[in-house]
Amino acid sequence: MSAKDKLLLAARDCLLTKGYAHTTVRDLVAVSGTNQASINYHFGSKEQLLIRALRDLNAEWGELLFTVLKEPDDVADGTRSDPADQEARWGRVIDSIQANRSLWFVNFESVASARQDEEIREMIVGGQELARVSLARAFAGLGPDSDPGEVQAVGSHYFALLVGLAVQWLADPERAPTAEQFVAANFSSGHRR
């Protein structure tokens, strides 16, 4: 395995275990078995190495999300899924959060990093757009022929729900809502999209 590959694996490991803000050059060197000069040679800086690994993890998170949202019988004809379908989907999202806590934490941490890093911010913006489209399709049956404004609005609604649910499951899983409670509250509060 090349030094570059070792560094990318080390960056991934450090991001998942220590987080972006707490990963040092020393950590990357220790985990990769390389040296500091190889970081600069292959990536230019520790930050560029971490951004590359963060981009890979963000893509992995997106694929994970898209997978849990899909079902063989997905609604794609402009009709919304019923509460049982939504409950099953939200249940898979919750299971994914529990099974991939470190990956979800890395994605939340990347939002904080976006304040100082335009490249990270752009990466997040692109990921959010893909997530909105997938969420609008999964929960409201809005497909490629749907009005883009409606896809944006509905996808943003479900993205806000996703982020709020994930924060609750990451911070306080003992009191976080079940999929059944989450969907029941969403349907009873008038958000019946």
Tens-place pLDDT, residues 18-49: 998 899 999 999 999 999 999 999 999 999 99
Burial (CB count <10 Å: 0-12, 13-18, 19+), residue 166: buried
- 36 inside domain: no
Apex CA 82: angle with CA 64 and CA 96, to 5°? 20
| Cβ atoms of 107 and 128 closer than 8 Å | no
- 130 inside domain: yes
pTM of the model: 0.84
Tens-place pLDDT, residues 95-149: 999 999 999 999 888 888 888 888 889 989 999 999 999 999 999 999 999 999 9
CATH number at residue 72: 1.10.357
- 137 inside domain: yes
Domain tally, the chain: 1
**Domain span holding position 166:** 54-188
Q: Cα 31 vs. chain centroid, distance in angstroms?
A: 25
Residue whose C-alpha is closest to residue 173's, from 58, 81, 94, 78: 94
pLDDT at 78: 42
